[in-house]
Amino acid sequence: MSEPRPATGPEPSEREAARERQSHVRHELRAPLAVMYPLLSLLRDEATGPLTATQREYVDMMERSVGRMNALVTSAAESGWLDCGAAPVEPTAVSLRDVAEEAVSLLKAGDGLAHVQVVTAGPDAVAWADREHLRCIVRDLVDNAVRYAPGHAVTVEVGVGSDGASAVLAVRDEGPGMCTEDLRRAFDFGFRGEAASEADGAGLGAGLWTCRRLAGLNGGTVELDSSKGEGTTVTVRLPTPAV
């Protein structure tokens, strides 16, 4: 008779396992950068000997490339692109106002942004959705609005749809808006439009793609309304809990 197996405690949930894997990926992506940064600093400061004009030019080019890579990794981690949708959908009753205020508070704490406001239209809208997915959606949309419409007012409005059976979240900015071609391709994976290309910092071009995918997994939709020079509005519609 075989020996009984010792108790090892409950197995981690699939969501927890996915989080652990993604945390490992983020760590591994950043590890080489942690080595390159100080080495480049030593070269730039001529700690290993004087540089020729051409060598300094090459060091500057490498430093910019490493900085861009670090920005891309940070964008992937903070936008939720690396971990969103890695686990099965686990819907619960989620207050859109609570999630929106949480996302905006984190942005304000990190960047001192005072021009982002959460507005509630009517009673609180409660969505039947995966909270982590919804958190990713709100965070990506607000981050996009702040990044690509810097200095312009951004409004996050939550409410119940006119049909009474949907929870609606709309992120509006008064930024540069999108041209017709950018609007047509906005949800394409990896696409970065004119405003994104002109904005400072790196991006993956996966924000709107991720939002639409996650909304779809939760039975919702994402609509985009924008005109050149007239700002952008992204509207997310999600189902509400069954009565």
Burial of residue 229, with CB atoms counted within 10 A of its CB: 0-12 exposed, 13-18 middle, 19 or more buried: exposed
Q: What integer pLDDT is reported at residue 135 of this predicted model?
A: 86
| Residues 169, 74 share a domain | no
| Residues 155, 182 share a domain | yes
Q: In this structure, is residue 71 part of a structural domain? A: yes
Q: Estimate to the nearest angstrom the gap between the alpha carbon of 26 and the chain centroid.
A: 15
Residue 212 has pLDDT above 80, yes or no: yes
| Residues 129, 181 share a domain | yes
Q: In this structure, is residue 135 part of a structural domain? A: yes
Residue 43 has pLDDT above 60, yes or no: yes
Closest alpha carbon to 92 in 218, 234, 227: 218
The pLDDT-based confidence of 87 (bands split at 50, 70, 90) is low
Distance CA 211, CA 73 (A): 19
With beta carbons less than 8 A apart as the criterion, state whether 166 and 240 touch.
yes
| Residues 53, 24 share a domain | yes
The pLDDT-based confidence of 32 (bands split at 50, 70, 90) is confident
Q: In this structure, is residue 50 part of a structural domain? A: yes
Q: What integer pLDDT is reported at residue 2 of this predicted model?
A: 40
- pLDDT higher at 32 or 6: 32
Q: What integer pLDDT is reported at residue 215 of this predicted model?
A: 94
β-pairing verdict for 154-160 and 116-121: parallel
| Residues 74, 96 share a domain | no
Q: Residue 63 belongs to what domain range?
A: 14-79
Mean pLDDT confidence for 133-145: 87
Torsion of CA 73, 77, 82, 85, to 10 degrees: -160
Residue 186 has pLDDT above 90, yes or no: no
> To the nearest whole percent, how much of the chain has pLDDT over 90?
24
Q: What's the pTM value of the predicted model, to 2 decimals?
A: 0.67
> To the nearest whole percent, how much of the chain has pLDDT over 70?
74
Burial of residue 226, with CB atoms counted within 10 A of its CB: 0-12 exposed, 13-18 middle, 19 or more buried: buried
- pLDDT higher at 127 or 37: 127
| Residues 102, 175 share a domain | yes
Distance CA 118, CA 103 (A): 10
**Structurally, how many domains does the chain consist of?**
2
Distance CA 181, CA 21 (A): 37
Residue 65 has pLDDT above 70, yes or no: yes
